[in-house]
Amino acid sequence: MKIIETPIPGLLILKPRVFSDDRGYFFESYNSKKFEDCGIPTLFIQDNESKSGHGVIRGLHYQLEPYSQCKLVRVIQGKVYDVAVDCRKGSPTFGQSFGTELSAENKLQFYIPKGFAHGFSVLSETAIFSYKCDSLYHPAADRGIFYNDPALEINWGIDSSEAIVSAKDKVLPLFADAEMNFKFDANE
């Protein structure tokens, strides 16, 4: 597995070794020992999967401490533009976002540590999106940021007139008004 660092410390892109032949392909999508050896000691305890159509934007979501979640995400079918926003107060990249294209073809995975809001837009006709989380969903801690906050300058890769957004996500606060309780730790 190749670890690709992003401009925001803690956010990592993981490129697995893929073995292909005339039968198809095989790759190891998760191995706790290999992740630990690469400096990602996260133990994932919950898997989620979603299927969405073209133009769907899900996010930007997070859970407050002490229920925050690390996520390992990938696309099983289709293509998405995946985004994480640094919500760690005191971080040199606080309020900055980073996005990357994840697809069934490139098989990249995106590691998002605690303290980040997360979302994605579907660029293909449909997409099946897989999440591994290190803590359980806790509804009372569920929070988010308005996906189209001008201060974040996120280009979701789809025309805004085609965006399909849930009623809940349409009324999320702007970044400046969102409730956050994450602290940046330079030692992590």
Which residue of the set 25, 54, 61, 81 is catalytic?
Answer: 61
Which residue in 102, 103, 66, 65 sits closest to 84, CA to CA? Answer: 102
d(CA 115, CA 94): 10
Annotation says 62 is catalytic:
no
Cis preceding linkage at 172, omega within 30: no
- Sign of the torsion formed by the C-alpha atoms of 137, 164, 102 and 114: negative
Which residue of the set 30, 54, 67, 131 is catalytic?
Answer: 131
Annotation says 61 is catalytic:
yes
d(CA 92, CA 177): 19
Helix (H, G, I), strand (E, B) or coil at 121: strand
d(CA 23, CA 1): 22
Residue 90 identity (one-letter amino acid): G
d(CA 25, CA 176): 45
Specify burial of residue 55 (Cβ count, 10 A radius: 0-12, 13-18, 19+).
middle
Helices (H), the chain: 32-37, 167-170
Active site residues: 61, 131
